[in-house]
Structure 1
Amino acid sequence: MLLYQFRKGTNPRRVIIYLAEKGIDVPRYELDYENDEHRSPSYLNVNPSGRAPTLVTDSGLAITDSAAIVEYLEECHPDRPMIGTDRASRARVRSLERLGSDLVARGQLWLWNRTAAFPAKEPNPSNETADRAHRYVSELLDVLEREIEENQFLAGDRPTVADCTAFTIFQTARERFDLPFGQGHPRLDAWYKRFRARPSADY
């Protein structure tokens, strides 16, 4: 088994944080994004989309989506489940995780237009597009602010895959780009700071 990753990438971090929370040791290869290794013929042969992460299983299967990688690993390591313990809790975690996935997608669109750091994704960043995307981001932040209630974590009193997913876009915006993200949502801001203190969140 081998995980191709980019340590600071938003989607790879979903898997990286999950592995740390579960205590799973997987061999890893750090892609050199600065020199476009993710677009090299050898990596495109593994993942034709040229994105990270990719998990190549012992059987040679290449799993090229971060959520699918986490679900695969969760099935391989069912102890200390992070996707719920019964039908109701699994449904709740999956619901929040999908909200987190939508937040990542909308947040990335915002970042592509709010900064000039993603020319391959957005060669002509637009403030108008960034402002529109921010409204869509805020809609989901409002929902998560209500859903977390007074819980320590998004789905209750212990971390789940929902936390691993949503946390990544907060961290990317706040730490990589020093941009505000979720500070106007006090429960989520407190949640972010609590989760950031966990060893799994370290870069």
Structure 2
Amino acid sequence: MLLYQFPMGTNPRRVAIYIAEKGLDVPQYTLDHVKLEHRSAAYLQINPAGRAPTLVTHEGAAITESAAIVEYLEELYPENPMIGTDPLSRAQVRALERIGSDLIVRSQLWLWNVTGAFPRNEPEPSQVFAAKLFRHVEELLDLLELAIADKRFLAGDRPTIADCTVFAIFQTARERFNLPFGTSHPRLDAWYRHFRTRPSADY
């Protein structure tokens, strides 16, 4: 098994945080994005989309989406479950994780425009468009603010895959780009600050 990673990427981060929280030992290879290794012919044979992460299994199969990688590892290593312990809790965790995945997509579109740091993805960034996009980001932040209520983690008293997913985009916005992401949502802000103290949150 080998995990192709890019430490600073949001989707690779959600997998890295999950692996650390789960206590797994998964061999990893860091792609050199500066040298465009993710666009090399060798890597494109593994992941034709040229993105990270990619998990190559013991059987040689390539799993190319972060959520799928997490669920694959969760099934492979069911001890210390991070996706719920019964049908209802699994459904609740998955619902929050889906919101988190949607939050990543919307927030990445916003970041492409508000930062100008992604010319390959958005060659003509627009602050006007970024402002419109952020309304859709805030819609999901509002949902998560309601969902967490007075819980320690998004789904209860222990971290789940939902926390890994949502924390990754918070960390990207706050630490990579120094943006006040979720700071107007006090419960999420407190959750982020608490989760940031966990060893899994360190780059």
- TM interval, shorter chain, is over 0.9
Q: How does 1:100-139 map to 2 (within 5 A)?
A: 100-139=100-139
Distance 1:35 1:81 in 2: 37
Q: Separation in 1 of the partners of 2:4 and 2:94?
A: 25
Distance 2:172 2:66 in 1: 16
Partners of 1:45 and 1:112 lie apart in 2 by 27
In structure 1, distance between residues paired with 2:126 and 2:35: 26
Deviation at 1:35, TM superposition (A): 1.4
Shift of 1:60: 0.6
Is the partner of 1:97 in helix, strand or coil?
Answer: helix
**Equivalent in the alignment of 1:79:** 79
Structure 1: runs of 5+ lacking an equivalent: none
Match of 1:4 in 2: 4
In the alignment, the residues of structure 1 paired with residue 41 and residue 117 of structure 2 have an alpha-carbon distance, to the nearest angstrom, of: 24
Distance between the aligned counterparts of 2:41 and 2:128, measured in 1? 36
Listed one character per residue, the Cα deviations across residues 174-194 of structure 1 (whole Å, up to 9, x for unaligned) are 000101100000000000000
TM-aligned CA deviation for residue 147 of structure 1: 0.4
Question: Following TM superposition, by how much is the alpha carbon of 1:34 offset from its aligned partner in structure 2, in angstroms?
Answer: 1.3
Gaps of 5+ in 2: none
| Residue of structure 2 equivalent to 1:141 | 141
Question: SS state of the match for residue 189, structure 1?
Answer: helix
Q: SS at the partner of 2:34?
A: helix
Provide the residue aligned with 2:49 in structure 1: 49
Residues 105-148 of structure 1: CA deviation (Å, up to 9, x unaligned): 00100000001110111011011110111000000000000000
1:67 aligns with 2:67: yes
What is the CA–CA distance in structure 2 between the aligned matches of 1:50 and 1:133, rounded to whole Å? 26
CA-to-aligned-CA distance 1:32-64 (integer Å, 9 cap, x gap)? 011111111111111000000000001010000
Partner of 1:180: 180
Runs of 4+ in structure 1 deviating by more than 2 angstroms, as ranges, are none
Separation (CA, whole Å) in 2 of partners of 1:182 and 1:50? 30
The number of equivalent residue pairs is 203
**Counterpart of 1:194?**
194
**Aligned-pair RMSD on alpha carbons?**
0.5
Distance 1:124 1:51 in 2: 22
Q: How many Å separate the matches in 1 of 2:48 and 2:95?
A: 29
> In structure 1, what is the equivalent of residue 88 of structure 2?
88
Q: Is 1:25 matched with 2:25?
A: yes
Paired residue for 1:161? 161
Identical-pair percentage: 69
Deviations 1:2-50 (A, max 9, x none): 0000001000001000000000001100000111111111111110000
- Secondary structure of 2:3's match? strand
Using the size of structure 1 for normalisation, the TM-score is: 0.99
